[in-house]
Amino acid sequence: MQDHTPLLNRAEQLLRYLRHELSVTEEAEFLQWLAENPEQQTFVNALCSGEGMEEELQFMEESHQEEDWLALQKRINAAPNPVFPLWKKLISTAAVILICCATGFYFYAEYAAKPRIIIQDLAKQDIKAGGNKAYLTLADGKQIVLNDLENGKVAEQAGLSITKMADGKLRYELKEDPAGKGSQNGEVLYNTISTPAGGQYQVVLPDGSRVWLNAASSLTYATSLASLKERSVTLTGEAYFEVAKDQFRKPFVVKSGNQEVEVMGTHFNISSYAQEPVVATTLLEGRVKVKRSGAFESILEPGEQSLVGKGIAVRKVDTTTAVAWKNGLFKFEDANIYTVMNQFARWYNFEVVYEGKAPDNKFNGEIYRNLNASKALKMLSYADIRFRVEINSKEPERKKIVITSNQ
């Protein structure tokens, strides 16, 4: 008679894994076993998603789990070639026993009404790189999804023509004499361009300034400058600016978080994400004045970066790192795991969770942003950092990368 004890032990281990009861060592061993047995991995994914489980078996609704378990062991030992139907749910707290004879895998688990988590092999269900995606909100509240439109005129607004160009670019152009255009009955109109996670876009503002928006970012700007003393925009997220010189020498001001950056004509990058501890402004050309609410301010020279938090710190940096995203790269210099994963999460549109103590590795190098997530995340495995991909069966488009402690 075949001894099924090892398989039953493996099934119990899977139950403990789903309950997050395994130690770090036990979890590593179990995930390695799944990786070496693709049939079992496929079976577990199908089980958790409900795919391929049309037959259902419900028994002993009021029975104890231990009694069900003992009954199963007897049935297995009594049958030389046991065959049991797969089933996807029982009442809450019921014991579920699933057997896949084709792989010799016996799975014992406890089901509840909550969504199941599928452990995915990222290479098999990869996450595509982001692209040119954005939506424009006009002054009247109308929202236009830019990536759904053909190239050409998007809208007209108070003497301005708004055109979608090739390669993810939006351009504002004056239709007539510029005096007073872009306003309505003397009222200044404001537009907002926003990118989702996994999106990026360019916009040429009415004054000719060019802005590159990174993922999960937004820029609000006036469409007319005639009655304004300054060219003021509000940024959330990250953007690179090439500011056009103004014939009336009106300063260009970027408001982001608790800082303001004032320029005349220059090239610079601002990263102002809520999940980052500071607002980073990096100057490539010209001069800018960085102000923090509370009267702190500093003048930046090319090659310098300001970090605004509780105060302002200025340092010399390699500017190519700050603007690598604009040039199609991730570039890291002694970056920690949080910096790396925050950038990946925004571009590939996934959630990041840390189990236990986060790894303290430092990362250096460049990765193309047009690569799928599996290629980008390979750098973690090179640093001996373990992670897994989880997908909620009720929301399969939402993916989660779980970073596990390597200690």
Q: For 345-384, what is each residue's pLDDT tens digit?
A: 999 999 999 998 888 888 888 999 999 998 888 878 777 7
Whether 330 maps to a domain, the answer reads yes
Whether 126 maps to a domain, the answer reads no
Rg from Cα positions in the chain: 28
Best CA proximity match to 121, nearest among 32, 209, 58, 223: 32
pTM over 0.75: no
Residue 220 is predicted with a pLDDT of 97
Whether 124 maps to a domain, the answer reads no
Report the distance separating Cα 91 and Cα 113, nearest Å.
8
322, 341, 364: which is the final residue of a domain? 322
Element (H, E) at 46: helix 38-49
Which of the four pLDDT bands, split at 50, 70 and 90, describes residue 276? Answer: very high
Best CA proximity match to 111, nearest among 79, 73, 68: 68
Strand, helix or coil for residue 112: coil
Both 76 and 204 in one domain: the answer is: no
Both 334 and 310 in one domain: the answer is: no
Whether 120 maps to a domain, the answer reads no
Residue type, 342: N
Both 175 and 139 in one domain: the answer is: yes
Could you read off the pLDDT of 161-200 as tens digits, one per residue? 999 998 889 999 887 544 445 555 567 899 999 999 999 9
Residue 198 is predicted with a pLDDT of 96
114, 146, 180: which is the final residue of a domain? 114
Both 246 and 264 in one domain: the answer is: yes
Report the distance separating Cα 24 and Cα 202, nearest Å.
45
- The count of domains in the chain is 3
Whether 67 maps to a domain, the answer reads yes
Domain housing 387:
324-404
Both 369 and 317 in one domain: the answer is: no
Residue type, 77: N
Residue 32 is predicted with a pLDDT of 76
Best CA proximity match to 381, nearest among 122, 33, 45: 122
Share of the chain above pLDDT 90, in %: 42
Mean pLDDT (whole number) for 323-329: 96
Both 139 and 287 in one domain: the answer is: yes
Best CA proximity match to 84, nearest among 63, 66, 107: 107
Q: Residue 389 is part of a domain; what is its CATH number?
A: 3.55.50.30
Maximum mean pLDDT: which of 10-14, 165-169, 315-319: 315-319
Strand, helix or coil for residue 28: helix
Which of the four pLDDT bands, split at 50, 70 and 90, describes residue 26? Answer: confident
Report the distance separating Cα 202 and Cα 164, nearest Å.
10
Q: Residue 142 is part of a domain; what is its CATH number?
A: 2.60.120.1440
Share of the chain above pLDDT 70, in %: 70
Report the distance separating Cα 111 and Cα 25, nearest Å.
25
322, 345, 380: which is the final residue of a domain? 322
Both 109 and 206 in one domain: the answer is: no
